[in-house]
Amino acid sequence: MVKKEVKSKNDFKVTPYEVEGNVDYSRLIKEFGISKIDSKLLDKIKKHTGELHFMLRRGIFFAHRDMDWLLEEYEKGNKFFLYTGRGPSGKVHLGHLFPWLFTKWLQDKFGVELWFQMTDDEKFLFKDNLSLEEANKTAYENALDVIAMGFDPKKTKIIVDTDNAGLMYKEALRVSKKITFSMVRSSFGFNESSNIGEIFYTSMQAVPAFLPSVISKKEIPCLIPHAVDQDPHFRLTRDILPKLGHYKPASIQCCFLPPLNGMEGKMGTTNEESGVINTTDTPEEVKRKINKYAFSGGQATIEEHRKLGGNPDVDVSFQYLKMFFEPDDAKLAKIEKDYRSGKMLTGELKQILIEKINTFLKEHQKKREEAKKHLDKFLFKK
């Protein structure tokens, strides 16, 4: 795919295949036609969950499509299922776990099924140097990270696109017949040299949004948690599914966990060393990466920092605590206050984050290892 230039500082771009520039989420809400999650919706969610996840309280899950409808159906006894996924192109990093942590909370609170799609086909088609065999193998490696999040094995089904193609292909065909090239061109940035597999692919990502309805021969509402980069796929899906006699899927969308080095865009595999913490990183790697690369909002010298204080709004370590690793609002507020006033130094803030991530990863890696024994229970078979 040909990369388009991001022209000015206020210019940014979000597609499933490129996130560039400084993303303005309020503008994105307008451009994508998604709805902001407001206090009224939060109250409706809270009615069912009893409490609000910190990612909702802090506006990290910030937008949605049709959540009001989904909750109305739920209240009528028409339970939904969850659908999310992963494009297995390499190791899983903290950015990927981010929507999965929230998805796990939704599964626990609503007691619903999760359908998890591994798109080995997508990554083979979109990545220049990835073989189909490697993408397929990576799907099963990445599935261990999904299972390690603690999803309920009785209520969770992992689909691997190429291995479940027999079931999925027929449904993808029905979707693809309703999509023209001009519909996908602008959404995904395709051009004359895009391969034709890329052009077809979005039909495969549409399928899990209605597959459980096809299997059970009964229409079931679907809720898709994801970061906002995936919205173009589901905007199309929502246009097509009613034409095939299915519900439009609802979605709940989060912003991006930034790269460690504070660069624009999302945490992604292109800046592996300075931008990304993988779930398989050792405690030493985590410590080294954060100390060396985590973009700091602190002052140049300790004296200046004590005098002027730090800026948590741009400090990546603080942002990681806020977005992922410090769910306790009171503790987070204390860190913010101390950092802003200059009482807490950058080194101390980084140390808090290193400990939090390493505690989290120690547990995650243990569960990831155990997941190898349970993989089979999660794989969808038909």
Residues found near ligand TYM in the complex (CB under 6 A): 16, 83-87, 95-96, 98-99, 117, 119, 122, 205, 224, 226-227, 229-230, 254, 256-257, 266-267
Q: How far is the CB of 182 from ligand TYM (least distance, A)?
A: 21
Q: Which is nearer to ligand TYM, 251 or 358 (CB)?
A: 251
Chain centroid to Cα 327, Å, comes to: 18
Q: How far is the CB of 297 from ligand TYM (least distance, A)?
A: 19
Phi first, then psi: give them for residue 287, nearest 5 degrees.
-60, -50
Q: Please answer whether residues 115 and 208 qualify as being in contact, where contact means their C-beta atoms are separated by less than 8 angstroms.
A: yes
Strand partners for 225: 252
Measured from the Cβ of residue 21, the count of other Cβ atoms closer than 10 Å reads: 17
Dihedral of alpha carbons 325, 366, 153, 276, sign: positive
Q: Which is nearer to ligand TYM, 240 or 254 (CB)?
A: 254
Cα within 13 Å of Cα(120), Cβ side: 21
Q: Which is nearer to ligand TYM, 110 or 126 (CB)?
A: 126
Q: Which residues contact 41 (CB under 8 A, 6 or more apart)?
A: 64, 67, 68
Q: Which is nearer to ligand TYM, 110 or 201 (CB)?
A: 201
Q: Which residue is nearest to ligand TYM (CB)?
A: 87
Q: Please answer whether residues 38 and 45 qualify as being in contact, where contact means their C-beta atoms are separated by less than 8 angstroms.
A: no
Q: Which is nearer to ligand TYM, 53 or 86 (CB)?
A: 86
Q: Which is nearer to ligand TYM, 136 or 205 (CB)?
A: 205
Chain centroid to Cα 14, Å, comes to: 14
Q: How far is the CB of 22 from ligand TYM (least distance, A)?
A: 14
Q: How far is the CB of 249 from ligand TYM (least distance, A)?
A: 9
Mapping DSSP onto H, E and C, the string for 158-170 reads EEECCCCHHHHHH
Structure tokens at 64: 């949605």
Q: How far is the CB of 306 from ligand TYM (least distance, A)?
A: 33
Strand partners for 222: 81
Q: How far is the CB of 62 from ligand TYM (least distance, A)?
A: 12
